[in-house]
Amino acid sequence: MSKLFIPLATLLLTLSHSHAEIRQTSVWWLPRNVNMFGHEIDFIFYVILWITGITAVAVFSVMIYFIVKYRARPGVPAIHSHGNNTLEVIWTTIPVFIFLALAIYGNEQWTRMRLRTPPADALPVAVVGEQFGWNVRYPGPDGKLAKMTAAKVSKENPFGIDPQDPDGHDDFTTYGELVFPVGRPVRLYLSSKDVIHAFYVPEFRLYQDMVPGRVYDFVWFKAEATGYFQLACNQLCGQGHYKMFGKLSVVPEPEYEAWAKGKAPAATASSESSSTPVAVAGR
């Protein structure tokens, strides 16, 4: 049985042709980064990797050397050491400064990504998770999304909007399909209909939990390159968690405009559920 597993798994993976770009290079390493914020995240990842890597090699080398050098030998008495204060001070002070530097840098990047107000010209896009798919809402020609209210999110009204909201009349929705213009900031409005899901795009270095009862309006990004990616749910949310992914494309702005123009405006909240297919569209 176990002998069959790998060929079978390979076959299944080959058959389930996915929309996302297939990684030909760095399969064992990070996927490419296309988000403006990703450079700093990758930078601090490599800094930590180098610091911990060098420390691990140094510590284990010294340890192995001492194990061999001071091994028990007949006739050689053990040395009783009471420690060395100078060494203790040095190897406590250095890590303190390293940790402080990492914390300050990390905090600064987090502030930049999540605590500052997203740019005013950002494209607002609402994404509401459900078992097991993604409701997506885009603004129409007015560039404005209907206001989302967490308390109003329901099965029939996944975006928690007021049907009378004039900003919402030209909005359009998709299910599991996301298209973003390259080089333009996108501001997300994230929520969930049922359980905790998570918006996760590895190529964006972007991860945000979506807890029902909340609307997260502080997540934004700017894609710097075009491509096809996968939006993956990254919180175990039920039996269908493994197939909860969305097709995500980053395209040139005119291509985005053309795509958006071809979408019909969303109906009002009451009839919206009829446009929601049961399974993830496309696969």
| Euclidean distance between CA atoms 133 and 156, whole angstroms | 15
Binding mask 205-244 for ligand CUA (x = CB under 6 A): ----------------------------x-xxx---x--x
User: Residue written as tokens 């053990």?
Assistant: 78
Q: How many CB atoms lie within 10 A of CB 159?
A: 28
Contact flags string 142-181 toward ligand CUA, x per CB under 6 A: ----------------------------------------
Give the nearest distance from C-beta 159 to ligand CUA in angstroms.
17
Q: Which is nearer to ligand CUA, 235 or 256 (CB)?
A: 235
CB 195 within 8 A of CB 237: yes
Burial 209-242 (b: 16+ CB within 10 A, else e): bbbbeebbbebbbbbeeeeebbbbbbbebeeebe
Give the DSSP letter string of 172-209.
EEEESEEEEETTSEEEEEEEESSS-EEEEEGGGTEEEE
Question: Per CB under 6 A, does 129 bind ligand CUA?
Answer: yes
Cis peptide leading into 132, omega within 30 of 0? Answer: yes
**What is the per-residue binding string for ligand CUA in 38-77, x denoting contact by CB under 6 A?**
----------------------------------------
As measured in angstroms, the least distance from the Cβ of 236 to ligand CUA is: 6
Q: CA 241 to CA 53: how far, in whole Å?
A: 34
- Return the number of other C-beta atoms located less than 10 Å from residue 276's C-beta: 15
Minimal distance in Å, beta carbon 199 to ligand CUA? Answer: 10
Smallest distance, ligand CUA to C-beta of residue 72, A: 55
Residue with tokens 């123009």: 261
Shorter beta-carbon distance to ligand CUA: residue 201 or 237: 237
Minimum distance between the CB of residue 187 and ligand CUA, rounded to whole angstroms? 22
- The residue within the footprint of ligand CUA, chosen from 193, 197, 222, 247 (CB under 6 A), is 197
Contacts with ligand CUA, residue ranges (CB under 6 A): 129, 132, 197, 233, 235-237, 241, 244
